[in-house]
Amino acid sequence: MTQNKALAVITALDRPIQVDILALPGSSLLSLSSLAEPLRAANRQTGRMVFDWRFVSLDGQAPLTSSGIAWPVSAGHDPSRRMDVFAVVAGFGAARLTDRKLIAHVYRAARNASLVLGIESGAWLLARAGLLDEHCAATHWEDFEDFASAFPHVDLRPDRYVMDGRFITTSGASPTFDMAVDLIGRILGRPLALDVASSFVHDQPRAAGDPQVNAMLGDARHDPRLVRAVRIMETHLDAPLSIAAIAKRVSMSTRGLEQLFTRQIGQTPGAYFLSLRLAAARRLVDDTRLSMTDIASRTGFSSQPALSRAFRLHYGLPPSDSRRARLGS
């Protein structure tokens, strides 16, 4: 079943969408809540129970999260139970979860669900069960190389989250929240999804294909000067600083910063800064109703035509066409 078919089946239900969230030991509190809270907010915004979600564990006992806090669950998980959405949440130590009974449990549960989510390190369990072979997937940037080596038949992407067929995988807590909002939008419509995001004062959800910052930086995370330079860029999207000014702030020469960027991420700092601004512009184009003039101002372009030229060159279509395509889908 493809994702479109799975979503069509789920959307057409005349009852609440049943969601089982399997919390494994070592899961992040933030990842668990980032999945559940948007579903709760969607119920609140619609005034009815659209999502009937519950937390479950393997044995019915509260699993210890990565912070050492026990996460309450409703019951032990029955993998033979038919489910609309099955989500497996894992965090630290997921690479070591190799117990055959656990893998068989995840495999059986996934086979009995219309839509399957691997949250943060949950993709490890799905991949180990063979469910992600020949599929695209995401995982946390810290696990990227290990995951790629362990599962060569999975098309691993450095994205925040990936939707491929009936499988959705996320790379961390924040991407999980954005994915949940996206999923709500696909089921209930974009306006409702934006209302859900706004209820958490989360006014600019990031897209699935947006890069994980540290995955983009690669080994650059070991060089604090480049990391600081990127953070400066991210906080000056609306009023871009010159590369010389950024270099001065990180105590480097302009030439030295250019060499550092080129060596570690394969782009000049100017090109990287422009890509950040255009990614932000695309999010605003696709996910808000702001005018193109306002979007240009928020992303550091001198005018709407300047934004349109840069956008078309980078993405192959003008921003107005991108917005129409998003609304059409």
DSSP secondary structure letters along 63-116: PB-TTSPBPP-SEE--TTS-EEEEEEEE-TTGGG---HHHHHHHHHHHHTEEEE
Could you give the domains of the chain?
3-199 (3.40.50.880), 213-329 (1.10.10.60)
Q: Give residue 156's identity as a one-letter amino acid code.
A: L
Task: Quote the tokens at residue 101.
Answer: 């009974």
φ, ψ of residue 7 to 5 degrees: the values are -65, -35
CB of 155 within 8 A of CB of 170? no
Q: Give residue 313's identity as a one-letter amino acid code.
A: L
pLDDT in tens, 209-220: 766 664 455 444
At a CB cut-off of 8 Å and minimum separation 6, what does 179 contact?
A: 117, 160, 161, 163, 168, 170, 208
Taking only Cα atoms into account, the Rg of the chain, rounded to an integer number of angstroms, comes to 21
pLDDT at position 214, please? 46
CB of 38 within 8 A of CB of 180? yes
pLDDT in tens, 4-43: 788 888 888 999 999 999 999 999 999 999 999 999 999 9
Predicted confidence (pLDDT) at residue 227 exceeds the cutoff of 70 = yes
At a CB cut-off of 8 Å and minimum separation 6, what does 103 contact?
A: 125, 128, 129
The C-alpha atoms of residue 210 and residue 278 are separated, in whole angstroms, by 11
The C-alpha atoms of residue 224 and residue 221 are separated, in whole angstroms, by 7
pTM higher than 0.85: no
DSSP 8-class letter at 28: -
β-strands 167-170, 161-164 pairing:
antiparallel
Task: Quote the tokens at residue 62.
Answer: 């509260």
Q: Which of 203-212, 294-303, 306-315 has the lowest mean pLDDT?
A: 203-212
Q: Residue-wise over 263-289: b if at least 16 C-beta within 10 A, else e?
A: ebbeeebeebbbebbbbbbbbbbbbbe
Q: How many residues does the chain have?
A: 329
At a CB cut-off of 8 Å and minimum separation 6, what does 133 contact?
A: 127, 151, 153, 154
Task: Quote the tokens at residue 319.
Answer: 């921003």
The C-alpha atoms of residue 151 and residue 154 are separated, in whole angstroms, by 6
Q: What is the mean pLDDT of residues 181-205?
A: 88
At a CB cut-off of 8 Å and minimum separation 6, what does 81 contact?
A: 20, 112
Q: What is the mean pLDDT of residues 101-113?
A: 97
Predicted confidence (pLDDT) at residue 310 exceeds the cutoff of 50 = yes
pLDDT at position 96, please? 78
- Give which of 65, 46, 44, 47 is closest to 55, Cα–Cα: 65
pLDDT in tens, 118-173: 999 999 999 999 999 999 999 987 777 778 889 999 999 888 999 999 999 999 99
Q: Give residue 23's identity as a one-letter amino acid code.
A: A
Helix (H, G, I), strand (E, B) or coil at 316: coil
pLDDT at position 219, please? 46
pLDDT at position 220, please? 40
CB of 258 within 8 A of CB of 273? no
